[in-house]
Structure 1
Amino acid sequence: MDDILKRLDERLSVTSVVMEESQIRVEARLSSNGASCPRCGCHSSRRHSLYTRTWMDVPEGAMPVSVRLALPKWFCDEKGCAQSVFAERLEWLPSYNRRSSRLDSQIRALAFSMSALQTERVCSQFGIRISHDAVLRLVYKTGVDESASPFRRNR
């Protein structure tokens, strides 16, 4: 599991893996020496605290994987910045997202090959809890290049 998470970010380290009957729970930690403030862009290396985020990742076999990740928060030392404390941003796990980008791309691939209801059923077979409405929201967020369609008329 450690090497799978290392592909997402080399700073990730797995602290524990618990195999349960219904899922795999992974505890991980992100080690970093600093981050840039999302508001002013100033680099900070003064740590404030740690907070945890829980998200779902791609299933291992037919077992869903739940990852609990400890992330650092940092002080912003820039005088004019209104953001005094900020959390480190991860490009592969957008803010407020409960699923990894890898899992979203797999769900998206299923959704573009079948209906949202069928995608919900297939995902539930792998232990991924997602509603057909969430599948539709994921599809609507996906940018589609309209010029690539062979069925589009030239105007």
Structure 2
Amino acid sequence: MYTHFADLDSRLIVLSCIEDANTLTCVVTVVSKTGRCPNCQYGSHKRHSAYMRVIDDLPIQGKSVQLYLKTHKWFCTNSFCEAKVFTERFEWLLPHGQRTVRLDAALRVIAFSTNCIEAAHVTRMLGMPVSHDTLLRLIHTTEMPTVHSPFCRH
């Protein structure tokens, strides 16, 4: 089970897990001694604070997975940067996101393969419970490649 989270980020440490009939809830933290400002890309060693984020991930054995991620805020030490405090960024998690990138990708595949009402039923049965409105939002925010018609004369 812990290798499931190591695929997300090798710095993740699982502090505790609680399992019930339908859900696996894990408290995880990230080992990091520095943070990189998203505005100026300047590295910082000055930690501001810590806070918890609740993140949904891919299911394990049909059980929905919820991560309580303890992450950090950092002071930007670049005096020319507008951001004085910034939050830690992860490549497997969008800023302000509540789902991992890999869960979003799986939900997009399901949403595009059928209508969103049926897809909501499927995701619930697979351990990825989301509403049909969430699936519609995923479809609308997906960038579609522009395809030029072979029948166009222009």
1:134 aligns with 2:100: no
Identity of aligned residues (%): 33
Paired residues for 1:135-150 under 5 Å: 135-147=135-147
Deviation of 1:122 after TM superposition, in Å, equals 0.7
Q: CA RMSD in A?
A: 1.6
Q: Which residues of structure 2 form unaligned runs of 5+?
A: none
Aligned match of 1:2: 2
Q: TM-score, normalised by structure 1?
A: 0.90
Q: Secondary structure at the match of 1:8?
A: coil
Per-residue CA shift, 1:20-45, capped at 9, x if unaligned? Answer: 12310011001112121112221101
Aligned match of 1:101: 101
Q: Secondary structure at the match of 1:112?
A: helix
Q: Secondary structure at the match of 1:106?
A: helix
Paired residues for 1:3-42 under 5 Å: 3-42=3-42
Aligned match of 1:80: 80
Q: TM-score, normalised by structure 2?
A: 0.91
Q: How many residues align?
A: 152
Distance 1:83 1:146 in 2: 36
Runs of 4+ in structure 1 off by over 4 angstroms are: none
Deviation of 1:115 after TM superposition, in Å, equals 0.7
Distance 1:106 1:5 in 2: 16
